[in-house]
Structure 1
Amino acid sequence: MNDQQIVKKILQQIGGEKNVSSLVTSATQIVIEVKDKTKANKLALENTEGVISVEEINGQFLVKVEGPVENLLKEINKLGDFTESNSDEEKETVMNKILGIIGGSFAPILGVLAGAGLLSALLAVLTMLGWVSSESGTYAILSAAGHAVFYFLPIFLGITLSIKLGANAYVGGTIGAALLEPHFTELIANGAKHVDFMGIPVVLMNYSSTVFPIFIAVSIYAVLEKFLKKIIYKDIQMFINPLISLVIIVPLTVLVFGPFGTYVGEGIGAVIEFLSSRSGLLTGAVLGAVWTFLTLLGLHWAVIPIAIANLANGPDPIVGMAAAAPFAQIGMAIAVLLKTKDKNLKTLAGSAIVPGALAGTTEIINYGILLRYKRTMVYVALAGAVGGAINGALGAKMTVFALPSLLSIPAFTPIGLYVIGITVALVLGFILTYVFGFEDKNNKVTSKSIFETSLISVKTETIASPLSGELVPLSQFNDPLFSTETVGKGITIEPEIGKVVSPADGVITTLFPTEHAVGITSEGGAEILIFIGSDTVNLKGQYFTSHIILGDKVKQGDLLIEFDMEKIKEAGFQVTTPVVITNTSQYLDVTHTNNATVRANEDLLTVIV
């Protein structure tokens, strides 16, 4: 394909030109931000000629392409201006946009922040027990591993925030690195009193672990870069734009953005510290009660940076009090697991408890249970308020950043008092839910079901059955890749008829040469694999007849593959067919119907987005 065809194909797989919110390029890749990522077909995009790889990060697709991007950029510019949103829909509110930027900046590094925080907490416990000396090399190395991401946080945020804003990530990272560069930090370490930049006095500050200065600096840089792209000759932008950006933004950060951002962060932290010192019980009760709802609305992203900034100056009281909320949610989920008779809900609750308890990720609980059964919101709020009040009154604080979980308990101090607060929240959440019930009305969730709040929505997509037959748990299939859900969650079908139909409207993205397996990516983004039989690949296509080719668009119910069941069985093979969602990790959960048998085109699987 030529450059024009490649560009058109990329835009087609991303959901069309109207689905593009913004589009920027670097030396080797195209960064496309989409309005609705469910319309984008990542797998098909990866298989597009000229595309090397595709990464999806928070609604942005990083498309690495062969050859110089400049050639593709010319074709892109012919199709329209994608640098600004071309949506005719209602524009985002300022608050939504700010929260989206903050969330999109922290999301890629939240895992390593939590992991490093746990490592620091573990090291503190080992030192306290006397198993590791604080003077040893072991301590120094593990301490470096645990503290590095926090010390160099301005660099990481410079990169992730630049990506989110569509700017050059490496320049953004360099702006953050400049604040930690030894020549600059030595001025602070040596106690220099009269430092200036071209005659302008500089207020020296320690920017390690800070959040707000780099947010301000990179936000201004992103605006500057867009301006430079419009006025600088394209052939020299690669080095001139970074040069101008660094010369302007780094001094401004040291002179203005840095001190201002630091004072803002310290001021907010001081206010919360003041409130908790005046009435820790009341402050904790409010935080414990509202934290669940802040998370549901995405507003917690506005608070987490404040907590991280507090850690630069000592323990943080915010998460120490708010930690009661996720434990209240876990208690509620345990009660639902034990009380419900709905197998799907029991499976959902069981799968939600483990990541919540061990990793502090309670999204499945919130979006899978809390929003479905509104009465549980009252239970969680009450339990969180009581636990938060206890933690606030007893002075529980976070010493290193960690998501509240069982494993992160050593990250909080005093540990014994903190455990009292979260235990009360968990037990109270359990008792209220178990005793008063949770509206278990066996509500059926369909592809039209949407649980909404003013800022966030949780959707589900229903996948129809591609076959008629008896349902068998995936765990009983004799291939460990399927039975252990390594390939993905789903169900197996013992077919009655040798005909496979499409389980959804979508595109054929996988078709095995032996025609015994087919993959469909639905319009909603679910990647569905239908794998006919066990070891049937050894038949080398014999007894299988495909009615589609790779890339075909199909409608639900379209005939995909026919297979001769009897001859396959006579050849010594099973025809039991797993139907799984291979991109299960992208969903909150995947559930299946409770029926013992199913007919083709009846509801089979539900993916919770």
Structure 2
Amino acid sequence: MKYEKDAAAIIAAVGGDENIASLYHCVTRLRFGLKDTTKVSPEQLKAVPAVVGVNDAGSQYQVIIGNDVPDVHRAIVTALPRLATAEPDPAGAGSSEPTTAEGNLAKRTFARFLDFISGTFAPILPAIAGAGLLKGVLALVNSFGWVDPTSQTYLIFSAIADAVFFFLPVIVAISAARKLGANPYVAGSLGAILVYPALTALLAAGDPVSVLGVPVTAATYSYSVIPALLGVYLLSWVERGLTRVIPSFLKLTVVPMLTLVIVAPITLTLLGPLGTFVGSGIAGGINWALDNGGAPAGFVIGALLPLIIMTGMHYTLVPFILQNLASLGYDKFLPLTYVQTFATAGAVFGLFLRAKNKQIKALSLSTTFTALMGVTEPALYGLALPLRRPLIATMAGAGVGGAVSLGFGVKAYVLAGNGGLPGLPGLVGETFAWALVGIVLSFVVSAVVSFFLKVDESILAPAAAAAPATSTGTASAAGADVTPVAPATLATAPASPAADEIISSPLTGDLLPLDDVPDTTFSQRLVGDGAAIRPTVGIVDSPVDGEVVTVFPTGHAVGLRSDTGVEVLIHVGLDTVTLKGDGFTSRVHAGDRVRIGDRLIDFDLEKIARTHDLVSVVVVTNPDGFSLAPGVSGPVRSGDALIRVSPADTNQTLQETNA
């Protein structure tokens, strides 16, 4: 499988199999529900060739892949088959709360809300986008008079395009249930009740309707989403409660029946009308701002849209966009997503025209075309965000395009699901000309601003050069907390030592082969080759003359770069990141100069050994171009020769040297 090695590396970097609660993907991103986001190694993820970038959106961890995300997702599911059917956390978060000190109730609640909305709509967007694009194509061919709108063929294709929107409550209910851990088919039945033809006709007749004496408000639920969301949320709680009290032999039939008997009437009498009212009110407020804000509002919203998209907050507007399309026949927010897409393409195109580094130039051109086709994540996360100034250019272009869009009342008539060239049929209508003006201006302005803004290409050039050195192997089931030395630190480092370099032992203890480490992340050399030591003294000394590159906040690991460019990671114990620094004291900081024997870390040997395996590893994280000859086994003292690093291949071990 093409992405087998990438999948293994991604699994390891997000904390291993046991840390993954759920996984799905949208158009460009893997979306992980993780039990503990502190176990994620962003740098290790970014070093995977298939990964463009990462985004921590509260309880959901997003790994940006690009066009090949289905293939990468398939490779991960092949490695971990349980993820094909794994349901998110029933609480609705999809994962446990991040264990960060700054977390608070408001932030956690908002993160759960974003995660619920995005987790519900991201999986169904392909269906909505496909049907929406077909509606746009039908509108286009009809506007040119190429078809007879009363013909049977046209009506059938219209039904194909419109069915997913008519039955949206059913689709939303199924997706929301999967996110909440409820039975998706029982939830789908609830959604079907909302659009059942006989019930719809009864409510539309104009006569009073009641259930068990409670009035049922007349409402049309076809094309709606919020009533289904509210109903399924209640259903998830009712279903869990009934499951706890109903005997096992009755659960198969009695729990679904009682769930529907309880939830459906409440949805029809309370939640459905409430959802319709709330949805109409919020959509009305958004539309008021879009209708009355004019060009200034368009500039502000357009300029902020790249940041909104990066946080995932744009998903919260999907229900209201769909409601506008259903009730008004158009939406004014969607055109802003088009100008943001083309602004992103323009920013990286301007970078392409200016860049000197060949790799960045090639990446800029390729991501320009990708963005023009509606997939902006590679450009946004791979170039604009790390280089910063292309992001400023994107915001400038999106602001200008947004001003034109709202200033001239540009409308989108279908949710095409693609803000690039393939999605243009979604804008076909009376304001199509102004839509094109806004799109072109957004691209041109971003390209010009990006071209004239000076960019520090060295930010990305070293990382691009180091990318081929990514580890290959299988993922750690234990999910070790490993982050290799940042690739950007290679900017001034020599490619390889001019002569043999000796990596000294940073620890005193018993030397053992890396193969014997009870963690496959290390034993299979996912982060580099080297040796392991079971320490008998709680002191870590520098094994090289060089610079401290990384000191982990928990104090359990440190990354160094020798004066000849060899990058060394020292990791004390296994999974010791979970101690959160308890028992560790760092003696150095990133950027410090060190010599062999300088103290790096003190650790409480006895305290840590009570709960964790103290086997520690010393690995070279940039092994390409080097030949390593680590010691094999036996006692070792701090300062003894541990690993020989050579510019040419050698099989010599250091046992004789240590002797």
* Cα shift at 1:273: 2.3
* Cα shift at 1:117: 1.2
Distance change in 2, residues 1:440/1:108 (3 Å): same
Distance change in 2, residues 1:20/1:375 (3 Å): closer
Aligned partner letter, 1:419? L
What's 2:144 paired with?
Answer: 129
Aligned partner letter, 2:124? I
Aligned partner letter, 2:265? P
| 1:353 is the counterpart of 2:358 | no
Query: Matched residue of 1:203: which SS?
Result: coil
Q: TM-score, normalised by structure 1?
A: 0.64
CA contact (8 A) 2:348 2:447 kept: yes
CA distance in 2 between partners of 1:195 and 1:367 (Å) = 53
Aligned partner letter, 1:554? Q
CA contact (8 A) 1:288 1:323 kept: no
What's 2:28 paired with?
Answer: none
* Cα shift at 1:56: 7.1
* Cα shift at 1:294: 0.4
| 1:436 is the counterpart of 2:406 | no
Trace 1:387-536 onto structure 2 (pairs within 5 A): 387-402=401-416, 403-412=418-427, 413=429, 414-444=431-461, 464=469, 503-504=471-472, 506-507=474-475
CA distance in 2 between partners of 1:98 and 1:382 (Å) = 30
Query: Matched residue of 1:438: which SS?
Result: coil
What's 1:207 paired with?
Answer: 221
CA distance in 2 between partners of 1:21 and 1:406 (Å) = 36
* Match among 261, 265, 269 for residue 247 of structure 1: 261
Query: Matched residue of 1:437: which SS?
Result: coil
* Match among 266, 280, 286 for residue 266 of structure 1: 280
Distance change in 2, residues 1:33/1:430 (3 Å): closer
* Cα shift at 1:354: 2.9
What's 1:580 paired with?
Answer: none
Distance change in 2, residues 1:45/1:522 (3 Å): farther
CA contact (8 A) 1:121 1:400 kept: yes
Flag structure 2 segments of 5+ consecutive residues without an equivalent: 1-10, 24-31, 42-60, 62-72, 484-514, 531-621, 629-644, 646-659
CA contact (8 A) 2:169 2:191 kept: yes
| 1:118 is the counterpart of 2:138 | no
CA contact (8 A) 1:409 1:415 kept: no
What's 1:362 paired with?
Answer: 376
CA distance in 1 between partners of 2:129 and 2:17 (Å) = 37
CA contact (8 A) 2:238 2:259 kept: yes
Query: Matched residue of 2:387: which SS?
Result: coil
CA contact (8 A) 1:224 1:245 kept: yes
CA contact (8 A) 1:14 1:45 kept: no
Pairs aligned (count): 442
Query: Matched residue of 2:242: which SS?
Result: helix
* Cα shift at 1:341: 2.7
What's 1:489 paired with?
Answer: none
Identity rate of aligned residues, in percent?
29
Query: Matched residue of 1:398: which SS?
Result: coil
| 1:55 is the counterpart of 2:88 | no
| 1:554 is the counterpart of 2:521 | no
Distance change in 2, residues 1:462/1:238 (3 Å): farther
CA contact (8 A) 2:36 2:99 kept: no
Deviations 1:541-565 (A, max 9, x none): xxxxxx99xx975125569xxxxxx
* Match among 312, 317, 324 for residue 298 of structure 1: 312
Instruction: Return the structure number with greater relative CO, CA threshold 8 A, min gap 6.
Output: 2
Distance change in 2, residues 1:436/1:161 (3 Å): same
* Cα shift at 1:350: 3.1
Distance change in 2, residues 1:274/1:199 (3 Å): same
* Match among 166, 174, 185 for residue 151 of structure 1: 166
* Cα shift at 1:361: 2.3
Distance change in 2, residues 1:22/1:241 (3 Å): farther
CA distance in 1 between partners of 2:113 and 2:432 (Å) = 35
Query: Matched residue of 2:149: which SS?
Result: coil
What's 1:109 paired with?
Answer: 124
Query: Matched residue of 2:84: which SS?
Result: strand
Query: Matched residue of 1:395: which SS?
Result: coil
Aligned partner letter, 1:426? F
* Cα shift at 1:156: 1.1
CA contact (8 A) 2:16 2:475 kept: no
CA distance in 2 between partners of 1:342 and 1:554 (Å) = 34
| 1:177 is the counterpart of 2:192 | yes
Distance change in 2, residues 1:557/1:273 (3 Å): closer
CA distance in 1 between partners of 2:314 and 2:111 (Å) = 12
* Match among 275, 278, 282 for residue 296 of structure 2: 282
Trace 1:590-609 onto structure 2 (pairs within 5 A): 598-599=625-626
Query: Matched residue of 1:361: which SS?
Result: coil
Distance change in 2, residues 1:131/1:462 (3 Å): same
CA distance in 2 between partners of 1:430 and 1:271 (Å) = 34
Distance change in 2, residues 1:214/1:523 (3 Å): same
Aligned partner letter, 1:19? N
* Cα shift at 1:210: 0.9
Distance change in 2, residues 1:236/1:42 (3 Å): farther
Aligned partner letter, 1:346? K
CA contact (8 A) 2:287 2:332 kept: yes
Distance change in 2, residues 1:361/1:523 (3 Å): farther
CA contact (8 A) 2:169 2:223 kept: yes
CA distance in 2 between partners of 1:209 and 1:158 (Å) = 12
What's 1:139 paired with?
Answer: 154
Aligned partner letter, 2:452? V
CA contact (8 A) 1:21 1:34 kept: yes
* Cα shift at 1:463: 5.7
What's 2:533 paired with?
Answer: none
Distance change in 2, residues 1:387/1:19 (3 Å): same
Select between 339-348 and 255-264 the one with higher mean Cα deviation.
339-348
Query: Matched residue of 1:249: which SS?
Result: helix
Off by >3 Å, runs of 4+ in structure 1: 11-18, 20-23, 31-48, 59-62, 82-92, 442-447, 460-463, 503-509, 521-525, 556-559, 597-602
Q: TM-score, normalised by structure 2?
A: 0.60
Q: Which has the larger radius of gyration?
A: 2
Deviations 1:560-598 (A, max 9, x none): xxxxxxxxxxxxxxxxxxxxxxxxxxxxxxxxxxx9x95
* Cα shift at 1:508: 9.8
Aligned partner letter, 2:181? G
* Cα shift at 1:434: 1.0
CA distance in 1 between partners of 2:260 and 2:481 (Å) = 43
Deviations 1:489-508 (A, max 9, x none): xxxxxxxxxxxxxx346459
* Cα shift at 1:125: 1.0
Q: Report the aligned-residue RMSD.
A: 4.1
CA contact (8 A) 2:352 2:360 kept: yes
CA distance in 2 between partners of 1:291 and 1:341 (Å) = 29
* Cα shift at 1:21: 5.3
CA distance in 2 between partners of 1:443 and 1:394 (Å) = 39
Deviations 1:314-340 (A, max 9, x none): 111111234322211111111122322
Flag structure 1 segments of 5+ consecutive residues without an equivalent: 1-10, 24-30, 63-81, 448-459, 466-502, 510-520, 526-546, 560-594, 603-609
| 1:232 is the counterpart of 2:246 | yes
CA contact (8 A) 1:21 1:33 kept: yes
Distance change in 2, residues 1:373/1:313 (3 Å): same
Distance change in 2, residues 1:339/1:210 (3 Å): same
* Cα shift at 1:279: 3.2
CA contact (8 A) 1:21 1:86 kept: no
